[in-house]
Chains A and B, each alone.
Chain A
Amino acid sequence: MEKQTHIDYRVSKIKNNLFLAISFFIIFVAFQLLPNTVFGQDLYIGAATVDITPKLPAAVDGQMTVRIAKVAETPLTANVIVLESRGENTTVIVSCDLVTVPTELKEMIQKEVKKSLPELDEKKIIINATHTHTGGVVRDNRYNIPEGVTQVKDYLQFISNQVSKTIVTAYNQREKGSVSWGISHAKVAYIRRAVYEDGTAKMYGGTHQANFIKMEGFEDQAIQSLFFWNQKGEFVATCINVPSPAQIVESRSAVNADYWHPVREGLKEKYGQQLVVAGWIGAAGDQTPRPRYDEFAEWRMIALRNEKKSPDFGTHSGAVDFRNEYHLSEIAGRIIRAVDETYETVKIDKHDAPVMKHVVNNIELPMRVVTETEYDNAVKMRAEDMNDPERAQVYSRRIVWYSKVVDRYEIQKTTPQPMFPVELHALRIGDVVICTNPFELFTEYGIQMKARSNAMQTFVVQLVGPGNYLPTHEAVRGGHYSAIVESNEVGPEGGQILVNWSVAMINKLWPQ
C-alpha cells in the first residue's frame, strides 16, 4: 500500500514537472511568436551632423525671383539619426536645411548609401526639408542661374556626398541607447491666409481692413519632441516637430538656416555640442512663423526683451517687418523653452527597447485637374513674362510655374485624370508614430491625421519629398497663391485620400 502510494507520488511529481515544463515551453514559444508590436528589441542609436552650406555665390531657393547669395549668414546642415531595433528594423532620419527634397536628390543619397551599406534597406531613409527659403537651389530647371554661381547639379552632388557619408558614419557608430517622447506648446505657427467678406482669401493678406473676416484655417501650436540617449545616458539626439516653416528671413539674398540655426545652437549650448538636432516641419502649408495680426503688440514684447524699451507705438505705421534677428531669436527661444520643458518632464520615462516598425508605401493621388480657363490664364501670363527679356530672367521660375500648368493641361487631353506618385513613411517608435508626406500640407490635414491616429503622439512631417502646396477645399474656394492650380499638383480630393491612407498605415501599426 505504502509502495503504491510512493509510486503514485512519483508519477504525480513527474506529471507536475511535465506540466510545468510544457507550460514554460508554450509561454516561451508564444513570446517568440508575438509580433514586435507587443515587445520591442534593444534600440541602437547613431547620430551625426554634416555641413551642407553651398559654395558661394549660390542661388537660393524659394521665391519667384532669382536671388544670388554672396554670404552665408549661418551654416546649412543635415542632421542624421540612425535607429535600429536590433535585428528587426533600421531607419535613417535625415533633416536638411533645404527648401524641399527633390526625388533626384533622394535617389542619389540612397544609391550612395547602398554602395557602403548593402545590408541597409535604402527605402527606409526618411529625408525631410525644413523649408528654409534661404537654402541653396536644389530644384533643377527652375531658375536661370548665371555662370560663376554654384549650379544645381553640383550642389546636389555635394549634398548627396555629404549626407551619404554621414549616414554611413552614424550607422557605424550606433550603440545601445534609449528614447523618450513628449509634447509641449510654443506659438510659432501663424496662419497666413486671410479671408475677406466676399469669400476670397489671400496669402499674407492684410487683416487690418474693414472687410477682414477671419484667418482661413487652423494653427497647431504643439511642439513635439523625441529624445535619444546613448548607453552612457548622454543626450545625443533630438527630433523636434514644429508645424511652421523655417521662413522668418525668407526673402534675403543670403544663405541662412532660419530659426533652426539658433534652435540648434541654443540646445547645444544647454545640452552639449554632441547633440544632433533634427528639425521636422509639421503640416504647415498655410502657416508662417511671422504674426499676421496684433503685430505691434508682439513686436513690442520682442523689442522689450532685446532693448529693454518699447518701440514708439505712437509713430508706427501699422506694418511690422518680422524678418529680423530679434524675431529669429524670439522664435528659437520659444521652441527651446518648449523642448526644455518637455525634456525635463519625460527624461524619467526612457524606453530602451521600444516597439519599432517602419512601413513605406508608394501610392498615387489624383492630380488637381487644370480647367480650360486656368490653362488660358497660364498661357497668357507666361507670355507676358517671356516677351520681356528682363522679366524672363528675373521671373524664370514663374515662367516654369506657368509652363507646368500648360503641360498638365496638354497631358489631360489623353489622360483626363492624371495621378501623382507619392512615397509615404509611417514609423512607430514605442507609443508614438512619425508619418510623412511630400507636400506643403495645409494644417487641417495634419490635425485630421493626429485626431484619427491610434498613436499616443503623431508626428506629421511634411516635405519628405519634392513639395508642393496641398490646400483644403476652403482654401481652393478662397483662391490666391498656395491654393490655385499653379501651386497645386494635388488638390483637396487627393488630400483626403492622403489622410485616409496615412491613418490606415498608422493604425495598422497598433493592432486592436
Chain B
Amino acid sequence: MVKKIFKKIATVTCLTLFLIVPVVASQLYIGSRTVDITPQLPVAVTGQFHLRIAEIAETPLIATVMVLETRGANGDLAIMVSCDALYIPTDLVALVRQAVKNQLPDIDENKIFLNATHTHTAPVLALEGEYLIPKTGVTQVKDYRKFFVEKVSGAIVSAYKDSAPGSVAWGMAYAVAGYNRRIVYADGTSGMSSKTNLPEFRSFEGSEDHNVNTLFFWNDKGKLISVVVGVASPSQEVEGRYAVNADYWHPVREGIKEKYGKDVNVLGWAAAAGDITPHMRYRKDADDRMRNLRNLSRTEELARRIILAVDESYNSVATERHSELVFEHHVEELPLPERWVTEKNYLEAKAFVQNAKEQIAEDPKAADALYRMMNWQERTVKRYEKQLENPKPLYPMDLHVIRLGDIAICTNEFELFSDFGIRMIARSKALQTFVIQLTGSSDWGSYLPTDRAVRGGAYSAVIHSNIVGPVGGQVLVERTVEVIDQLWNKEVTQ
C-alpha cells in the first residue's frame, strides 16, 4: 500500500515537473547502426494463419538503430530500432532493454523502443501459441529470439558508444504506397482485402495517408549517416511467400544507399496503417502495365515511389539542418480500455476452439492450418473469463512521445487504423507528426479499428483481432495529442 502511494506521488511529481520545467535547445548527439537479423534457415515465417517454413532468404532482414541524445542536466535520450519483423512482442522488448542495460547501466532503458515494419515474411517472435513448429530441422523461436536480442542490443550499444555531435532536418513528400483494404458493400458490411469489382461494392471504409515523412541525420563532418522514412503502409507485398523477405523496405534501403552512400542507415517506420495494404485494390491492370513497361517488380515499384519522395524532401530540406534544438522524450504506461467481449463472442469462440481441437486430435496435420486460428480465438475465450472477474480490463501500452525540434514522434503498439493516425496528425501542435505503429505488441499484434470498421465487421475488426477497440483508440488519440500539446506549451530557452 505504502509502495503504491509512493509510486503515485512519484508519478504526479514527474508529470508536474514534465509540465513546468522549461525546455532547452541543446546540441544533438547521434549514433546509428545497421545489423543483419536474417535467421538461420529453414525457419517458420509469420503473418498468415497457416504454417509456412522458409527455405530461402530472398533478401536479408535488417534492424536499424538510431540513437538521439542531448547531454547535461536537461539532456534526454531516445533509442529507436526499426526491425524487419511482423511484430515485436513486449516481452522481447524487455529482453532487449535488459541486455542493453547490462552493458550500459547508466542509461534509462525505457527510452528504447523497437518498431516492426510488419513484413509477413520474417520469423516468428512470439514464444508460444502461434504455430506448431517442427521441433527439429527448423530454427526454433527461442533460438531466434536469443539471436535477435544479441544482435539488436549489440547494435544499440555500438551506436550509443559512437554517438557524436550531429544535425538533423525533417521533410515531407508523398507517395502512393498504401491502399485501404477494407471494402464496404451495399448492405453495410465490410470485407478485408475483398473484391471491389462487384455491383454491391460501395466504397473504401477509411482514409489513406500518402504522406512520406522523412528525417535526415548528418554527422559533424556533414556526412549523411541516417535516414528515417515513415510510410503509412505495411511491408506486405510478398506476404504469402514461403521465404524470408524484408518486402519493399529492402529495395528502398538499397536505392537510398545507392544514391546517398552505402553506409547510410535507413529506418523504416510504418505509420498508422492497420487498414492499409500495399496491394492494389482496384485498377490493378493499369498499374501492372506501367510496372511491366518499366520492368520492375511490385516491391521495386513501391520502392521507386518512396525513394522519389525521399529525394524530393532531401533536395528541399538538406540545407536546413538543426544541430542545437529542443529534444524531449516522454515515456509512460498508458492504460487503454479493452474491447468488451460479449457472451455471443465468447460462445462462438469457445465452439470454434472445441471444434478445432477435435480436428487436430483426429488429424495432427490439421494443426498447420488450424493451430494459430484456434489460439487466436482461444484468447477471446480467456479474455471473457477474465472479464467476469474484472469487468473493466485495461491494456497497458507503452507510449513514447518525442519532440525533436519542430516535429513530434509518437508510438503505439497496434496495427492502428489510418483514421486514428490522421486524428493525431491533424490535432498535433507539431509541424510534422510521425506516427509509428507496432512498437511492441502483446502476443502477435492486434488491430485497433474505428467504430465504422467494427460495425462493418470482418477480419481486423472482429473481437479476436482487437484487444483494444474504438473507445480505447480515442483514448490513445486524446492522450497522445495531450502529451504533444504539453511538449509544445513549454517555454523554450536557448
Interface-lining segment among B66-74, B145-153, B203-211, B239-247: B203-211
Task: State which residues 174-230 of B face A: CB under 8 Å.
Answer: 174-176, 180, 196-199, 201-204, 206-208, 210-211
Residues on the A chain within 8 Å of B425, using CB: 293-294
Q: Would you give the shortest CB distance from A403 to chain B, in whole angstroms?
A: 33
Q: Does B427 contact A (CB under 8 A)?
A: yes
Q: Does A350 contact B (CB under 8 A)?
A: no
**Cβ–Cβ contact A183 & B211, under 8 A:** no
- What is the predominant secondary structure among interface residues of chain A facing chain B? mixed
**Cβ–Cβ contact A451 & B427, under 8 A:** no
Q: Does A385 contact B (CB under 8 A)?
A: no
Q: Would you give the shortest CB distance from A468 to chain B, in whole angstroms?
A: 21
Cβ contacts B281-312/A at 8 Å (1 or 0 each): 11101110110011000000000010000000
Q: Does A169 contact B (CB under 8 A)?
A: no
Q: Would you give the shortest CB distance from B278 to chain A, in whole angstroms?
A: 14
**Cβ–Cβ contact A213 & B423, under 8 A:** yes
Q: Complex Cα distance A222/B283, Å?
A: 10
Check A313/B406 contact, CB under 8 A, given A183-B286, A346-B290, A346-B293: yes
Among B196, B210, B283, B305, point to the contact of A458 (Cβ < 8 A).
B283
Closest to A298 in B: B172
Task: State which residues 304-358 of A face B: CB under 8 Å.
Answer: 304-305, 308-310, 313, 342, 345-346, 348-349
Check A305/B422 contact, CB under 8 A, given A183-B286, A294-B211, A297-B172: no
Residues on the B chain within 8 Å of A293, using CB: 422, 425-426
Q: Does A301 contact B (CB under 8 A)?
A: yes
Q: Would you give the shortest CB distance from A314 to chain B, in whole angstroms?
A: 8
**Cβ–Cβ contact B427 & A472, under 8 A:** no
Among A221, A300, A444, A500, point to the contact of B176 (Cβ < 8 A).
A221
Among B199, B204, B419, B478, point to the contact of A447 (Cβ < 8 A).
B204
Q: Would you give the shortest CB distance from B407 to chain A, in whole angstroms?
A: 9
**Cβ–Cβ contact B290 & A304, under 8 A:** no
Q: Complex Cα distance A256/B422, Å?
A: 33
Q: Does B16 contact A (CB under 8 A)?
A: no
**Number of residues from B at the complex interface, CB < 8 A:** 49
Q: Does B345 contact A (CB under 8 A)?
A: no
Among B313, B422, B426, B431, point to the contact of A313 (Cβ < 8 A).
B431
Q: Complex Cα distance A342/B287, Å?
A: 11
Interface residues on A, range: 35 or more
Q: Would you give the shortest CB distance from A349 to chain B, in whole angstroms?
A: 6
Q: Does A261 contact B (CB under 8 A)?
A: no
Q: Does A153 contact B (CB under 8 A)?
A: no
Q: Does B121 contact A (CB under 8 A)?
A: no
**Cβ–Cβ contact B286 & A447, under 8 A:** no
Residues on the A chain within 8 Å of B172, using CB: 294, 297-298, 301
Q: Does B171 contact A (CB under 8 A)?
A: yes
Interface-lining segment among A21-29, A34-42, A202-210, A412-420: A202-210
Q: Would you give the shortest CB distance from B389 to chain A, in whole angstroms?
A: 33
Closest to B176 in A: A185
Q: Complex Cα distance A210/B433, Å?
A: 16
Q: Would you give the shortest CB distance from A385 to chain B, in whole angstroms?
A: 34
Q: Would you give the shortest CB distance from A19 to chain B, in whole angstroms?
A: 41
**Cβ–Cβ contact A300 & B431, under 8 A:** yes
Check A304/B202 contact, CB under 8 A, given A187-B210, A294-B211, A456-B286: no
Q: Does A168 contact B (CB under 8 A)?
A: no
Q: Complex Cα distance A184/B293, Å?
A: 13
Q: Would you give the shortest CB distance from A458 to chain B, in whole angstroms?
A: 7
Among A224, A304, A450, A456, point to the contact of B289 (Cβ < 8 A).
A456
**Cβ–Cβ contact A447 & B203, under 8 A:** yes
**Cβ–Cβ contact B426 & A207, under 8 A:** yes
Q: Does B98 contact A (CB under 8 A)?
A: no
Q: Would you give the shortest CB distance from B316 to chain A, in whole angstroms?
A: 5
**Cβ–Cβ contact A184 & B199, under 8 A:** no
Residues on the A chain within 8 Å of B432, using CB: 294, 297
Task: State which residues 438-494 of B face A: CB under 8 Å.
Answer: 450, 478, 481
Among B283, B427, B478, point to the contact of A208 (Cβ < 8 A).
B427
Q: Complex Cα distance A472/B203, Å?
A: 10
**Cβ–Cβ contact B198 & A452, under 8 A:** yes
Q: Does B55 contact A (CB under 8 A)?
A: no
Residues on the A chain within 8 Å of B293, using CB: 345-346, 348-349
Residues on the A chain within 8 Å of B197, using CB: 451-452
Can you show 29 pairs from A to B with CB atoms below 8 A apart? A183-B286, A185-B175, A185-B176, A207-B426, A210-B478, A212-B427, A214-B419, A214-B422, A215-B207, A217-B203, A219-B208, A221-B176, A222-B283, A224-B286, A294-B426, A297-B432, A300-B431, A301-B172, A345-B293, A444-B202, A447-B204, A448-B201, A448-B202, A451-B196, A451-B197, A451-B283, A456-B289, A472-B203, A503-B199
Binding site for A on B (CB under 8 A): 171-176, 180, 196-199, 201-204, 206-208, 210-211, 281-283, 285-287, 289-290, 293-294, 305, 313, 316-317, 319-320, 406, 419, 422-423, 425-427, 431-433, 450, 478, 481
Q: A213-B419, A304-B317, A450-B282 are in contact. List 5 more A-B contacts (CB 8 A).
A: A300-B431, A304-B320, A342-B290, A447-B204, A452-B199
**A-B CB proximity, top 5 nearest:** A451-B196, A293-B426, A451-B282, A207-B426, A185-B176
